[in-house]
Each structure stands twice: as C-alpha cells, then as structure tokens.
Structure 1
Amino acid sequence: MKMKLFNLFILSIFFAFCVEAQDEKPNIVWISFEDMSPILSCYGDSTAHTPNINSLANQGVVYNNVYATAGVCAPSRSAIITGMYPISIGTNHMRTGRDIMSWGNSTYREEKGVVDKKGNNVREYSAVLPKDVKCFTEFLRAEGYYCTNNAKTDYQFAAPFTAWDENDTKAHWRNRGDDQPFFAVFNFNETHESKIWKNKDYPQTVDENIVHLPPYYPDVTEVRQDVARMYSNLELLDKRVGQIIQQLKKDGLYENTYIFLFSDHGGPLPRQKREVIASGLHVPFVIKYPQSEKVGHSDQLISFIDLAPSVIDLAKGEIPAYLQGKSLFSEERKYSFAARDRMDEFTSARRSVTDGRYLYVRYLENETSAYQDIGYRTQVPTMRVLKEMYSKGTLNEVQSKWFSPLTSSEMLFDLENDPFETKNLAEDKSHQKTLKKFRSVMNKWMKKTPDRCIQPEAEMIEEMWPNNTQPITLNVGGVYQDGVLKLNCPTESVSIGYRVNGGKWKLYHQPISTQKGDLVEAKAIRIGYKTSEITSFSNE
C-alpha cells in the first residue's frame, strides 16, 4: 500500500511538472536588419568576417528558403507586423507618408509629384487597415508578454500605442516585470541601402579586390567599392548582433530564448532592392532554439507572412483566423508570394511566386522595362555607373537586360541553375509545362487574395480617408460594477489602452479591477485613424 501511495506521489509530481512546462511561455528575441541577401558565411559566402552571426548560426537552424512579401522595407514590415499581405491591407505602395518615415527627404512629394497609375496626385496618408487587423504583438500582450521594439517601425501606418509596451531607442526586455515573458525586437540599420554612400566615415574593412560581383554588374571600380562597402557594413552589423548576444548571456537568458536573425528583404544594391525576384526577396534567416535543441540547415519554404502566426504559436496563443500566413512550426507551405506596386515616384504592378526552385513574375500592366529611374536609388554610385554605361552601350547583354524593353509580361527563372536570374525561361519551349504550372498557381492566389492595391491609389486613399480627411477614433466609454471597470468604444475594430494612476499604458483585453480612489485613463485607436482623446474614470 505504501509503495502504491509513493508511486502515485511520484506520478503527481511528474504530471505537475509536465503541466508547468506546457504552461511556461518562452522568451523570444528578434534581431532584424536591413536590405541584405543571404551572403553570410552560413550560406557559403565568407567575404565578410561575422563571428557573432556565425556562432549564432552554428548553434541554430539556418533556413535556406525564406522570402519577403515585398522587395522594400515598409511594405515588407507591414506584412511582418500584421501577418497580412500588403496588397490585402493597402500597404504595398512605397511609401505612404513622411510623418511615419524613418528615411528619406521630407520634401520628397512636393519635389517629385507622386501620382498613381491614372495620373492622380497621391497625398501622404497613414493606411487604414481592414477591420479586425491588428499588430500581432497585441495578441502577445494579451497573453502576458512584455513586448518591446527598438526602434524602427515603418509599417506604412503610424504604429498604434497599443502595439508595444516600449517602442523607442531604449526599449529592452530588461524593463519588464519580474518573471514576465518577453518578445523583444531590435532593428539595426548598418546594412541599409543608404549606408552604401553614407558610411564614408567608417573604415572599409573588406578589400574591394576580393569581392565577387554578380554577372549583372560590370567590373568597374565604383561597383567594386559599393559591393565591398556592403560587406563592410555586414561586419559593422555583426558587432551589434554580438552586443545583444552578450546581454542575453549576462542576464542568463541566452540558452532559454528563441533568437530570430533575419533581414527585412533582399540586398541593398540596384537590381536587388525593390525587385520581386529572388535578389530582392530572398533573405538570410536563422533561429537559435532554446538549448540549441535544433541545429543545421533547413530547406523549408517560409514567407514573411508566416512570422506573426509563428510567434503567436510559440507564445502558446490562439492564432487569429484572419491571418493569411501559417506557423512555420506547425505547417509547411508550397509557395511564397510577393507583390510590387508604386515605388516612390513610379508605379508598376507586379506579382511573383516561388517554390524555392523556380520563381515566376507577372507584370499586370504594360511596362517599358523592368528598370525604373527612382530618384532615391541614384544616390548609390553603382546605379549612376549602370545608367551611364547603358546609355553609352558599354554594358554586355546580361548587364543590359534590366534596362532593356520587356518582350513578355511574364518571367520564369530557375534559381537552382541560374541563381542570379539572368535567363528568362518564360519563352523557352522546354519550360512551358513549368510556366503553365506557376501561371495557374498565381491565378489561384490572385483570385483568393484580396488586392486593394490593384485600384488607382488615389481611389484607395479616398476609401480610407473619405473627403480627404483622416478618420478619428471615438472616445472610450466605461462602466464600473463593484470596482471592476469595463471599457468600450463605439468605433469598430479598435484597440483600447489604459493606465492606472498615471502608470504605464497597458493593453485593455479584460475588465480592470480597481481600488477605491484609483484614476483610470483610457484611449482607443484603430490603425490608420487618429487616436481618440483620453477619457478618465474614477473609482470614488
């Protein structure tokens, strides 16, 4: 009898331990950086010396087939934070307004005269998202997570105050409550396109004579210098990555934290950034699992549309049904889709899809060439050289292809045999079966995926901002019952934040228990709307 009781006691401890382990929520860190293709040592390119990234990759899983949903930062980041395709939520035009810009010229629209595909003037705006669409971090905050962003947002809409516990250059997991799980994002800009010409104050640590050039570039001094600067910027990034790793280790968190390392889209140079081919979409992506329980390389196909549901899944939350992605930890996808619409002062509607082996592009409107003379990009010395050499006829056939007139509205590339995407197989008779397959895949995706950006942008803005006026979130109401405050807002699909006695703003997701004399302040926001005024509630 004593033995049976002892066994039951041991079993009860075991089951209690299992339940506790299942309920424990993991810490998650994202280290995101700008404008970079998979040109790291873990992908076979050791040009840049990146010991911290190498160490992280050696202790984690290096994913070989990860693709952004856009070849430029703001639309890509809107997909990451919402878990929605930018075309479906009206955030695919680059960009929407200077009030939410981290980069660029503040007088840009006045100087360039931005217009949509019908020639209508396009005003600055913050995109109004479809109802129910939230920043996915709100679902983490509702699960008890402390969510921080340091510090870039660039979502195509003003970041709602309900998205983060901290959203500034001091945001850090170290400011959380005791034993509170955290989701901490660090955004580094050392590798941004602008740093190709702005990093002249930093030493160029990579010799321009050792870099390998893609075949779509001529071998001239300016190009070599820019490519060497790109690799040098990676070495600067590596030091920032090392700082985060050391902080995690110092806090005793490194072994038990999921660490994601990835770029927000493909490379920073011409014919890379902004393109919806692999050079603009294919990114480095590493996950260091707790205790390094998984290591090696994976060919799993992942889209940025999967990041939001993946993190919610890790946090043991319920994945909202409206999300268009799927958790990379529970499902595998067959295809990754991307889209391009207006880029700064030029409009071009393109959609693409890849399975990791082939990549298919469709131009939705007549275009003179794949190239567009976007002013911001001409600050890159390589871009100026390419333009000059093309005008003089000194580029070879491969190098001229980007500028040359399009002969088809479709492109098909074999990424395995042609990784630099120099041969369009769409008109090759031997690849017609593959072309028809991807044409069908694209047709099905376009049919089932809402696309707000297909319409003229000015018309889309009028739907978002009726009478050219940004909508305003109505004020929060509330009712006390036995010291418990229930908040509400008449504006549909809002998020509500509150603070008690002047403390930090918290996300409202359940009624608030208060003490006599407490002062609760609340305000609401729907993404794209102006935030409501603050309403006060006193428990007298």
Structure 2
Amino acid sequence: MSSPSSSSPSDGLNVLLIVVDDLRPALGCYGDKLVKSPNIDQLASQSVVFSNAYAQQAVCAPSRVSFLTGRRPDTTRLYDFYSYWRVHAGNYSTMPQYFKENGYVTLSVGKVFHPGISSNYSDDYPYSWSIPPFHPSAEKYENDKTCRGKDGKLYANLVCPVDVTEMPSGTLPDIQSTEEAIRLLNVMKTNKQKFFLAVGYHKPHIPLRYPQEFLKLYPLENITLAPDPWVPEKLPSVAYNPWTDIRQRDDVQALNVSFPYGPLPDDFQRQIRQSYYAAVSYLDMQVGLLLNALDDVGLSSSTIVVFTADHGWSLGEHGEWAKYSNFDVATRVPLMFYVPGMTTSSISRGERVFPYLDPFSHILGLVPQGQSKKVVELVSLFSTLAELAGLQVPPVCPETSFHVALCTEGASIVRYFNASEQNVEEEKDGYDDAYRCVNEEPVAFSQYPRPADTPQWNSDKPKLKDIRIMGYSMRTVDYRLTPRLLLEGHSRSRYSFLESQATQPLRSQRNASPGQRAAVNLKKGFFSQQIA
C-alpha cells in the first residue's frame, strides 16, 4: 500500500459510505469458504480490511447513532429506539454534518440512520444532509405478508425467497436504493461537486427476503449447522438473548418452540443459514452494481469507499438467532477502506477498478489488498474518514462531553493502514509508536442492556426505563471480558467471564464511559487477585 501522504487535503476526495444491516463478516474476503461475494471481495482486494472491527452495541439505532456521531451509547444515551440524541443527550455534530459544513454535498439513500424517533423522524435532516434522504417506496412492505408458502398463501415468514415480479411495486428496497444511488452519482458527476454519499442496505436483516434465484447458489445439502449450536452450559442466563423477534414470524411460530432456550429443528436451522447466505449474495450484487456505476461515471479515482455494517447476527451459535448480545458474532463487523492512491497504486481518471462480477458465474477468490488484525471500533469511523478526506480531525472528547458539539470518542485508525502483522504482534507486548506511549492497549468496547438477569420477552430490546443491567464487553485480539453492572441505584456490581481470561490487565481507559471504566477496574481487580 502507498503511504498516507499520497492523499492530501488538496485531493478533495469524495466519500461513498456503504452501511449494511445485520451483516457479520460472512464474506469470501474474510475467509468464508461458502459465501459467494465476488463484488465485495473485489472491493477488499483494493482496500485495507480490518479483521477485528467491533460495533459498540449490537442493535440498529444505537449502533448507527454511535458511529455517525463518533460517541459511545453511554454518551448518546440511546440504548433503544426511543430518544433523539440532540434532545435527550447533547447537540452532537454528526459525521455527514461535519462533511457538509466543510463544503461537501451530503446524501443519504436507504437505511443509514435508523428511521423513527432516534433520528427525529427525518434521518437527522437538515442537520446531516443537503437534501431530504431517500427511502425506497418498497420499505413499507418489509414486514407484510409477502412470502408465498407451499399452500400458495402469503405469510410474514423469517425465511422468505420471493419472485420479485410478484412483490408490491415489482421490486425490493435494496434494488431501489441501488438505482437511486446510481442516479445521484450521475448527478454528482455532472455537477462536479464533492460529495459524501451514504447508502444503507437492508439485507441480510430479517425477514430474509431476497430474489429466489439466489437459493441456487446454496444447495441445502451443503449447509451445515453452526459449529457450536447449543447454549453453553456455564453461560450466565443474563448473557442469553431468546431471539424474540424471529419468534414473531409465521414460519417460526408454526414450530411451537419453547421459550427461552428451546432449539429450532435442525432442518429449519439449515434453512435460516441458507437464506442468510443467499441474502448476502443478493446484497453483493447490489454493491457490485453500485461500484460498477462509480467506475462508469469516472469517479473511482477520486472517491473513498468504506464498507461496513451496524453489527453482526448469530446464525445458531450459542443457540441464538439474533443480534442483541455481546457475543462476537453479534458485535464483530466487516470494515474495509478503499482510498485511491493509498490502499492502491495510482489510478488514472476513467480507469476501471470495480467491474461488475456476476455471483452466479464468478468463482475466483480475491484477497484483501492489506489486512490488519488490529482491534478497532466503529466509533472511530468519524475521525478516520475526516483524516482520509483531508479534513481537520475532530478533537478527542473530554471525560464529560454532553455539552460539547464537536468531538469524538474514537481515535482515527489511519495509522494502522500500513501496519505490518509483525508490528501488530510487537504492539501486543510493548509500546513501539507514539500511540503506544500513552500506555494504551488496542481494545474494543461493546455493550448491551438487559431488563433482568434471566431471559425475558423484552431481553432483546428493553426500553430505557426497563434496563436494570448493562454488560460491557472488552475485546482484545485474543481475549474478551464481559463484566455486567447493575444500574439504577443498585450498589452491587456483578460480572461474569464468557470466554478465555487474559494473562495481563487491560490498561486502556481513554474515551471510556463511567460504566466502561468501572468494567476496566473490575478487570484490574480480577487480575491483581489472579496474579497474586
């Protein structure tokens, strides 16, 4: 990869931010041998790819508000869907707002902010966007009965391959979003304006509704169960999420699965996994069409492309079928950055970088241009994109920042773009650069609230007034620790170890919330006892 100095503020790079809903790193470029994702893999082959990137909360609205403001959920005060940060926390600037204030035309297509109260019923327009955000007309049918059963009737199913021509309006939301994003790219080419275009794709979010032809890519006999499909014997009950949302789907209800732990039948587990992979390949097609259009308008040489997701999704691991937890499968996300002249060699104007690859015929595997095992967080996206675009990087937030409009709680990760794996190993043991000198170990914080210490019907999405326990997950390259803190006046704190225990204390508390600092202190106390 070229050095960061090859891109400067004078370059005036555009930004294309692609945000996917519920996408775990089930992609060829992340080593998945089953999933067919040639277009995303092609993007990875021109990008730096982070293999250990984590969301700050594994649910849509809190995660999106977190990385779009550069603040953690404890600062946005959004753990559910029912508050707007500018009213209930602080008038925080957002990433697109910052680009807008720096001369960019900012555009939103599809699901970028979560719709509803959490973005003021406007996707934070006009603060964040230059024009009203585009939402596909087909979005309103997402939860309707559009899945045709074997009896010919329509159902609101979880597993939902469809004939697109039979859908309301004869299309699907992600198809409409791709079409609108391509239209806007052509407008931006004509207007010759710097742009920040965010495109949010729905799939593979449930319901798993996608064009039925994608099932052909994944014969059911090739689909295996999760490698660890059972609820762990020693799992604290507070850590478990009973996947309430999929229980509301017609096909799952018909199975009469017991609450909260009752397993799904093996054959239905395979169908869910099959449909998730099919939905990923459908998504890959949309991404391929969009990136091909970026080539068509001659903007691949002047546009940063970022690809990520708001969080992951459990495909039967630990007996779960959801996000809503601190498990890695729920918090770990794909994250890659394509930066012309930095992650690739110089690209001539008009040179094709992203020719469309048909997932039904393209089988060549492509590897990332550069891959980092650094543990990074989505909350760093704001400062990272600002630096890549040549803008002044917003300052680090003070310990209490509710009154500060512009600051971020995530440091830029551009410094990792050229880090070799040897450097990664060195930094695990020492302090080999300026960032290490602040006595900081790479770590990701995620968190998830619970209404009680046993599974409840609202364990997945408790409202703020019902939250009693907050789990804070701290992730390094090799280890994860998840203390759980009792909230709202409880003097006791309890914590449980869900995975392997590290062999040295976690030192970093920079930009951590009070709850996260308490979790770090718990870990320090644990290790002082263990070492003693």
- Cα offset for 1:273? 0.7
In the other structure, the counterpart of 2:526 is none
**Contact kept in structure 2, 1:140 and 1:315, CA below 8 Å:** no
1:420-459 map, 5 Å: 425=501, 433-434=503-504, 437-438=505-506, 445-447=512-514
State the structure with bigger RCO (CA 8 A, min sep 6), 1 or 2: 2
Query: Are residues 1:334 and 2:467 paired?
Result: no
Looking at structure 2, the residues matched to 223 and 81 of structure 1 have their Cα atoms a distance apart, in angstroms, of 34
192, 195, 202: which is aligned to 1:189?
A: 202
1:379-458 map, 5 Å: 409-414=495-500, 425=501, 433-434=503-504, 437-438=505-506, 445-447=512-514
**Contact kept in structure 2, 1:33 and 1:189, CA below 8 Å:** yes
**Contact kept in structure 1, 2:8 and 2:389, CA below 8 Å:** no
In the other structure, the counterpart of 1:305 is 379
**Contact kept in structure 2, 1:91 and 1:127, CA below 8 Å:** no
State the AA in 1 paired with 2:215: Q
In the other structure, the counterpart of 1:352 is 473
101, 114, 136: which is aligned to 1:154?
A: 114
- Using the TM superposition, name which of 275-284 and 335-344 deviates more: 335-344
Looking at structure 2, the residues matched to 326 and 309 of structure 1 have their Cα atoms a distance apart, in angstroms, of 6
How many pairs does the alignment contain?
345
**Against the structure 1 CA distance between its residues 221 and 319, is the aligned structure 2 distance closer, same or farther, given a 3 Å change threshold?**
same
In the other structure, the counterpart of 1:521 is none
149, 164, 179: which is aligned to 2:129?
A: 164
Structure 1: tracts of 5 or more residues without a match: 1-17, 98-124, 367-407, 415-424, 426-430, 452-540
State the AA in 2 paired with 1:274: Y
304, 312, 334: which is aligned to 1:284?
A: 334
- Cα offset for 1:249? 0.6
Looking at structure 1, the residues matched to 477 and 7 of structure 2 have their Cα atoms a distance apart, in angstroms, of 39
Q: Report the TM-score, using the length of structure 1 for normalisation.
A: 0.58
- Cα offset for 1:129? 4.8
SS of corresponding position for 1:204:
helix
- Cα offset for 1:29? 0.8
**Against the structure 1 CA distance between its residues 74 and 450, is the aligned structure 2 distance closer, same or farther, given a 3 Å change threshold?**
farther
**Contact kept in structure 2, 1:336 and 1:354, CA below 8 Å:** yes
Looking at structure 2, the residues matched to 19 and 363 of structure 1 have their Cα atoms a distance apart, in angstroms, of 45
**Contact kept in structure 2, 1:37 and 1:263, CA below 8 Å:** yes
Looking at structure 1, the residues matched to 281 and 445 of structure 2 have their Cα atoms a distance apart, in angstroms, of 31
**Contact kept in structure 1, 2:22 and 2:203, CA below 8 Å:** no
- Cα offset for 1:142? 1.7
Query: Are residues 1:259 and 2:333 paired?
Result: no
State the AA in 2 paired with 1:341: P
Looking at structure 1, the residues matched to 510 and 90 of structure 2 have their Cα atoms a distance apart, in angstroms, of 26
Query: Are residues 1:32 and 2:16 paired?
Result: no
**Against the structure 1 CA distance between its residues 63 and 244, is the aligned structure 2 distance closer, same or farther, given a 3 Å change threshold?**
same
204, 216, 232: which is aligned to 2:215?
A: 204
Structure 2: tracts of 5 or more residues without a match: 136-179, 231-264, 346-368, 396-406, 417-434, 436-440, 451-459, 488-493, 519-532
Looking at structure 1, the residues matched to 511 and 272 of structure 2 have their Cα atoms a distance apart, in angstroms, of 40
**Contact kept in structure 1, 2:324 and 2:461, CA below 8 Å:** no
State the AA in 2 paired with 1:259: V
In the other structure, the counterpart of 1:246 is 292
- Using the TM superposition, name which of 333-342 and 348-357 deviates more: 333-342
RMSD: 3.2
SS of corresponding position for 2:191:
coil
Looking at structure 1, the residues matched to 510 and 50 of structure 2 have their Cα atoms a distance apart, in angstroms, of 28
Query: Are residues 1:293 and 2:344 paired?
Result: yes
Query: Are residues 1:217 and 2:204 paired?
Result: no
